[in-house]
Amino acid sequence: MLPLLTYHWLTGAGWSGFSALVVSGVWPVVDTVVYLIWHRRIDEFAVITLIFLALTLVVTVIGPHSSHLLLVKDSAVTGLFGVVCLASLAARRPLMFYFGRKFGTDGSKEGLARWQGLWDEYEGFRRMIRLITLVWGVGYVVEAVTRIGLSYLLPTQAMIGVNAVLGYGFPAALIAWTVAYGKKARARGARRQAEAGAGEARVGVG
């Protein structure tokens, strides 16, 4: 909402569409800086966020000064995040392992060790993290392609609103799916452990 309000206010004050779009894109940077100041530490999540913000800044500065092309480039950067997710599936640990460690633990040594232990000991956990990475990767690629397509169909002001909706709504939908899938996966794992324990008890009695 803030990027959209900023864009409308600046264009109403006589700014060009490109300049207003650049300034309205400062809000994600502000959000990241506030996060870093509040937590006073840089982790993998913060590093990835800063890298993509830097990429956005670079393509904005060196690219053609067109508001339409700026919208396309912003969408391409989010699509790149999806590609990185998919590429990380070939690595030792996929990207969502680090995101999960960021948001699934309290950041303490014990919490981090527990998260690492889940990865080392349980194939089901590794499969869950890889599937989440796959879904986020494909999702962001599809979202980027959709935004790029819409940027050629909609006027700039309308596209600013669409970007605001997708920019917050799409991650929210992915997070909701991830939480729901994680709960189901944990429930299945607990059920299997209970069934295995019951089987061992029957063997012992026999």
In a domain, 120, yes or no: yes
Query: Which percentage of the chain shows pLDDT scores above 70?
Result: 58
Q: Is the pLDDT of residue 109 over 80?
A: yes
Q: Is the pLDDT of residue 145 over 80?
A: yes
Q: Which domain holds residue 170?
A: 2-188
Number of alpha carbons in the 13 Å side-chain half-sphere of residue 155: 3
Number of domains in the chain: 1
| Buried b or exposed e, range 117-152, using 16+ CB within 10 angstroms | ebeeeeeebbebbbbbbebbbebbbebbeebbebbe
Q: Which residue, chain included where needed, has tokens 């995101």? A: 99
Residues across the chain: 206
In a domain, 206, yes or no: no
In a domain, 193, yes or no: no
In a domain, 194, yes or no: no
Are the C-beta atoms of 124 and 134 separated by less than 8 Å?
Answer: no
In a domain, 201, yes or no: no
In a domain, 202, yes or no: no
Q: Is the pLDDT of residue 83 over 50?
A: yes
Which residues, 6+ apart, have CB-to-CB distance to 66 below 8 Å? 18
CA–CA distance, 108 with 112 (Å, rounded to integer): 6
In a domain, 195, yes or no: no
Mean pLDDT for the stretch of residues 38-64: 61
Whether the pTM exceeds 0.95: the reply is no
In a domain, 75, yes or no: yes
pLDDT per residue as tens digits for the range 10-37: 555 655 544 555 555 555 555 656 655 6
